[in-house]
Amino acid sequence: MSKLYRTSRVDGQEPTVVNVGGVEIGRRLAVIAGPCSIESLDQTMAIARAVKEAGADMLRGGAFKPRTSPYSFQGLGLEGLKILYAARQETGLPIVTEVIDPRDVSWVAEYADLLQIGTRNMQNFSLLKEVGQTNRPVLLKRGMYSTLDEWLNCAEYILSEGNPNVILCERGIRTFEKYTRNTLDLSAVPAIKELTHLPIITDPTHGTGVRSLVGPMSLASIASGADGLIIEVHNNPKEALSDADQALTPPVFAQLMKQIRSVRLHMEQIGEVRT
């Protein structure tokens, strides 16, 4: 195993708190919600208002989409970034959006509060170096075929470039199971807490790919000790231009938020879980 000089947790080290536009990830529970893709100003504004109302801390939305097929909707690009920024101005919610091309990094950093590296780009080392040189925190998703060690080495790339603000995101890995799109590896959450000082959130939406499983896995994530969640919410999931089968509607998300808070409160009451 190669040495993780900056990413490993040394004995007695306090967990890192990453400040994203005023939201302190690692200190208190942070829920990021929003559509998979930015489709229009109206759509984004409607969803942004709804998730803010439901109590979300941050808005997600893709402007640059890494799609399996080159013929699928590729995102609105710069126009999408402007729309996200407008939503931020109105709701005050910090913005997280994915960056897929090193040439876009500085532009995305101008508009977004948190730069997301997607699962397919986890080991895109030139992209990691580029985001490592910005002044924006980075949300590093786990590669769908990656071990924890490979994942942490990618965080090490970003940290070694001088950017200390990395948040890890468990988003499900490929297994032989076909019922779910991915298998959300919740054992990764406490394992990561043992291995590194960096905060970790989970993505139950992509982690399962099945709408009905998003709620239970959100609560299970909180119970496993995750610092936050990233959940897809769409005001009209059937019409969504991408990932139509897994987004929650705003009312369902609002209900889930209450249950998430309640589980979090319970976990805080029972204290640290040791075995």
- Using CB under 8 A, list all residues that contact another protein: 78, 101, 103-104, 106-107, 109-111, 134-135
Residue 81 beta carbon to another protein: minimum distance, rounded to whole angstroms: 9
Closer by beta carbon to another protein, 8 or else 106? 106
Closer by beta carbon to another protein, 73 or else 111? 111
Residue 93 beta carbon to another protein: minimum distance, rounded to whole angstroms: 18
Residue 87 beta carbon to another protein: minimum distance, rounded to whole angstroms: 15
Closer by beta carbon to another protein, 4 or else 78? 78
Cα distance between residue 199 and residue 238, in whole Å: 33
Cα distance between residue 80 and residue 97, in whole Å: 10
* Backbone φ, ψ for residue 220 (5° rounding): -65, -35
**What is the residue-wise DSSP string for 150-169?**
HHHHHHHHHHHTT---EEEE
Residue 15 beta carbon to another protein: minimum distance, rounded to whole angstroms: 29
Cα distance between residue 240 and residue 125, in whole Å: 31
Closer by beta carbon to another protein, 130 or else 156? 130
**Which distant-in-sequence residues (6+ apart) come within 8 Å of 255 by Cβ?**
none
Closer by beta carbon to another protein, 56 or else 105? 105
Residue 84 beta carbon to another protein: minimum distance, rounded to whole angstroms: 13
64 closest CA partner among 53, 73, 56, 55: 73
Question: Could you tell me which residues are beta bridge partners of residue 32?
Answer: 58, 230
Q: HSE (CB half, 13 Å, CA atoms) of 69?
A: 5
